[in-house]
Structure 1
Amino acid sequence: SLDPEEFRVAEKKREEMIKSGISFVEKPGFEHPKSVYSSRTLDYLIKNSKVILYNLSNTREMSKHNYSNVSETLCETKREAEETDDFHEIVD
């Protein structure tokens, strides 16, 4: 599970390291030239983590609900078809 407080603490520490000039890697000079260790903040992850989790949860619930509705509709349609004379003529 994602802990927003843990992200805030990590981001604060990262920003302190950037200001102090402390290297983010064990062997300075061996960083990847396109690394983003010090160029991006984590604020967007912190702010959006709850929204993202909510949307995922909501999507799962909607899928379950939609599946249930489709299943019920199919059962009702089958039941209605079985009750008509046309169904018995086709089957018999």
Structure 2
Amino acid sequence: MTQLETGPVAAEIERRLRAALSPESLAVIDDSAAHRGHAGHDARGESHFTVEIVAAAFAGESRVKRHRLVNAALAALLADRVHALVIQARAPGE
């Protein structure tokens, strides 16, 4: 994923997750268009995302701990800009 393929919020999500968790693979999917007219939709776009991430940091960790690691890396965005985040976090080999 490059800056040219994504909006600025998606690019920032990717940058923060790469810096915090050094993932082997990462996909940041903007689901915002599917939520137009719903509560939490932001007219600026980029308000709803799915993150698919595979990182060694998740090895041996519970699903809750994995989500907490992702949420911690994205805390400022979640507080201000991102309304909804679906997290699919796996360790390598899972």
Above 0.5 in TM-score? no
TM-score scaled to structure 1, two decimals?
0.22
Find the structure with the greater CA-based Rg: 1
TM-score scaled to structure 2, two decimals?
0.22
Question: Hey, which of these two has a bigger chunk of strand by percent?
Answer: 2
